[in-house]
Structure 1
Amino acid sequence: MFEKTRDIFTHLIHPILFMYLAASYIPSTTTSLLSPLQLNILLSPSAFVCPSNLPLDQEEKQKEIWFARFWAIYGPELQKNTSPTVAPLLQRVHGIVLDIGPGSGEWLPLLPKNRITKIYGVEPNKDHHAALRRKIRECGLEGVYEIVPVGIEDLEEGGWIKEERVDSVITLFCLCGIPRPREMIGRLYGMLGEGGVWVLYEHVRVREGRWVGWYQSAMNLFWPHFLGGCELRRDTGRWVKEAGPWSQVELVQPVNEPEYQVVPHIQGVLVK
């Protein structure tokens, strides 16, 4: 009984500790902005967490720099902890690939290069691009992997995706932070060709009727401000399933996650 109580407490305190960890990167980010060219980003009443009267692009730029610095450290740790589960899923990827929100490129080493002809890495946060380029070189993907510096909403309109359809979509820990998620998920479904695969590993909202859902809702009041706009309460699994008809759906919650998991996940592959 004591062991379970301690485990529940650990899961409940984890989101708070994670937000504290993210906040610890504010001082180093502030220091990095102490240059004549970036003082206009730093000198604002909003700092990094609270809403302000700043122009949206300036306020968001602050958060992008902060989150990029944080993710450069945490992203590889996340990859190391979840790669035993994610690696087999990525072996289903093939052909022309849309890699949504690749960040610093933590997952690139797990991609089956012999099955891929082209990868479009859709990463609008330019503060990730330097690290992503290094990872592309390390993985021997130069000429195959193209960084696309826009959001999903601008892929077709901006002419970035020349092909009418793609063969694979990868979304790993990214759909929690995109704007207008249901609309963007629908757009990604439309870009996926018949027989194409969607590889997914995302955190989602707690299932209805569970007491921990109330706690997750409370945490979500603060979480997006510390984690680059990430949302805890998105019903991503259902939205992807409802994006259109699928010939195959293999989505499950990781078996090692207890019922009191504050940040539960969903993983798997869908085939169009």
Structure 2
Amino acid sequence: MFEHARNVAYHLIDPIHFMAIAACYLPGTIASLLLNLQFRTILTPSALKDAWFARFWEVYGPLNRINATENVRPLITQAKGIVLDIGPGTGEWVSLFDKENITRIYGVEPNVDHHPRLKEKITEAGLQDKYVIVPLGIQDLGEKWVKRGTVDSVVTIQCLCSIPRPREMIEDLYGYIKEGGNWVLYEHVKVKEGRWVGSYQSLINIIWPHFLGGCSLTRDIENWLKVTGSWSKVDLFQPIAEPEYQVIPHLKGVLVK
């Protein structure tokens, strides 16, 4: 009984603790921008948030990779052919791609503060001849980089939480996948209906996006993906190890068009 109560308390406090850690990186970000005379970035809220999150994630991205690799590795190796890698950030997952099955990867990453580290990870993975960084958001992708209906795999690893207009972007990405292509994902999602922890998640989400680069905790990604188009196969599920009181539950799996 005591052990259960302690576990519940830990999961309730964990998001607050994580935001507090992120907040510690803001003063250093501002100091660095001042030293580099990047006053415009400091005075532009969206640019400052991007720089702040990039500084924070440079440290916590690798730690996140350690915790999530068990779930992500068997999924990302299913990416094949021409790949859209959405929101690769600092490239923590790049080394997990199966190079033998990849023709070209387009890494759609609008946050240029992530690009230097992302390039390093691409080189370390030996993918410099196959991986192209696209410095745009999904909404600006168009057909300049890759034509619709020609992508073999879309990969989203913990990024759908922060893209703007998520339902519209999911529909847009669906259009790039060719028949027989797949969508590989590992995302944190909205708590399922009827669970008391959902109300707590919604409360936390009022301030969470301001500390975590625009990330939202309450997106109904599973439903949005299922209704966005016709899938020949849908294999999505929550990791078994996550308890019902998980404030930030995950969804993983593969959809085939």
Same fold (TM over 0.5): yes
Q: Is contact 2:83–2:151 with CA below 8 Å preserved after alignment?
A: yes
CA gap 1:77/1:36 in 2 versus in 1, 3 angstroms = closer
Q: Report the Cα distance in structure 1 between the residues aligned to 2:234 and 2:10, rounded to whole angstroms.
A: 32
Q: Report the Cα distance in structure 1 between the residues aligned to 2:11 and 2:205, rounded to whole angstroms.
A: 15
Secondary structure class of the residue paired with 2:255: strand
Q: Report how many aligned residue pairs link the two structures.
A: 257
- Segments of 4+ moved more than 4 angstroms: none
Residue 38 of structure 2 aligns with an amino acid whose one-letter code is Q
CA gap 1:186/1:162 in 2 versus in 1, 3 angstroms = closer
Matched, 1:266 2:229: no
**Residue ranges of structure 2 left out of the alignment (5+ in a row):** none
TM-score, normalising length from structure 1? Answer: 0.92
Show the counterpart of 2:103. 117
Matched, 1:37 2:37: yes
1:217-232 correspondence to structure 2 within 5 Å:
217-232=202-217
**Residue ranges of structure 1 left out of the alignment (5+ in a row):** 45-57
Show the counterpart of 1:2. 2
Spell out, residue by residue over 1:98-142, the C-alpha distance to the aligned partner (whole angstroms, 9 max, x if none).
000000000011110000000000000000000000111111111
Q: Report the Cα distance in structure 2 between the residues aligned to 1:142 and 1:236, rounded to whole angstroms.
A: 31
1:149-228 correspondence to structure 2 within 5 Å:
149-156=135-142, 159-162=144-147, 164-228=149-213
TM-score, normalising length from structure 2? Answer: 0.97
CA gap 1:36/1:89 in 2 versus in 1, 3 angstroms = closer
Residue 33 of structure 1 aligns with an amino acid whose one-letter code is L
Spell out, residue by residue over 1:165-205, the C-alpha distance to the aligned partner (whole angstroms, 9 max, x if none).
10000000000000000000001001000000110000111
Q: Report the Cα distance in structure 2 between the residues aligned to 1:40 and 1:263, rounded to whole angstroms.
A: 34
Spell out, residue by residue over 1:14-33, the C-alpha distance to the aligned partner (whole angstroms, 9 max, x if none).
00001001111011101111
Q: Percent identity between the aligned chains?
A: 59
Secondary structure class of the residue paired with 2:190: coil
Secondary structure class of the residue paired with 2:202: helix
